[in-house]
Amino acid sequence: MSKEPRLDEQVISQAAQAALSSQLEEAEDLNLDVSTDVLKAAQGKADSVSINGRGVVVQDVRVDKMAVQTDRLSFNPLSILLGQLKLDQPLDATAQIALTEADLNRAMQAEAVTQRLPSLKLNVEGEPVTVELGQPVAVTLPADGKIGLDGTALLHERETTRQVGFAVVILPRTGQQPVRLESFVCESGEALSIEFTIALLQTFKQLLAQPYIEIEGMAIKVKRMEIQAGKLLVETEAHIPQMPSL
């Protein structure tokens, strides 16, 4: 039988939930529970925080479902009153997130995402080539449990710029296997050299093999990915030195 939260925990949780809700563009459902008491909260301490939400939208990125759990945290209590949590010590958290195919395609057009998509710097036979991702990139979640990406890219070479189309199939990360590139097809009006194709594939593989993703100072590690009926399920761990501004 689950323990009912004390009155002081309910009050603190409601205040924190109101502060979080004020920073979201939309939330169909949102529940935030803080495990603490009045004395600890006054000192900026809490044993844990859990957040559960559905249809949450922030910076035009929608998450169909999410569940976040933190360990002990230390924060500036005055920052809660100002509607922005400021950490006094780094925080570790785990999250389970579900995104629909529509959510993923919406995210690939959101400014918060497109601004963070890096250009790829290649060295092709001693010559620098920059690959810039075009917009939009279409994401598909076929029934075979893979992720498909279709789009265009601009190739900036020393004296020319040309556009190529591409189709990528990715095998999601599991408990035993990292993210893997199953296939990569380029379509161009002119042939791409073998040297360029090899350099591009090597760069993609290096990106997929990265142990974690860094976003606004947070180190996020993807533990597992799974495709279920048009949804992408992701389990992550995060080390958070400071809460980002939404």
pLDDT over threshold 80, residue 16: no
pLDDT for position 83? 62
Dihedral angle at the C-alpha atoms of 99, 101, 104, 106, nearest 10 degrees?
-120
Task: Give start and end residues of each alpha helix (H) in 22-86.
Answer: 38-42, 77-81
SS3 content of the chain, % helix, strand, coil (to 5): 20, 45, 35
Q: Pick 56 or 19 by higher pLDDT.
A: 56
Answer whether 147's CB lies under 8 Å from 231's CB.
Answer: no
Structure tokens at 38: 């009045």
Distance CA 234, CA 239 (A): 16
Per-residue model confidence as pLDDT tens digits over 116-173: 877 888 888 788 888 888 888 999 998 788 999 998 888 888 888 888 888 889 888 8
pTM > 0.75: yes or no? yes
pLDDT over threshold 80, residue 47: yes
pLDDT for position 190? 58
Per-residue model confidence as pLDDT tens digits over 167-223: 889 888 877 778 888 888 887 665 667 777 777 777 777 777 777 788 777 888 988
Query: How does strand 147-156 pair with strand 161-171?
Result: antiparallel
Indicate the average pLDDT of the chain.
Answer: 84
DSSP H or E run through 126 = none
The percent of residues in the chain predicted with pLDDT above 90, rounded, is: 27
Q: Which residue has the tokens 């009006």?
A: 189
pLDDT over threshold 90, residue 237: yes
Structure tokens at 23: 């920073």
Q: Kindly state the average pLDDT of the residues 219-235.
A: 90
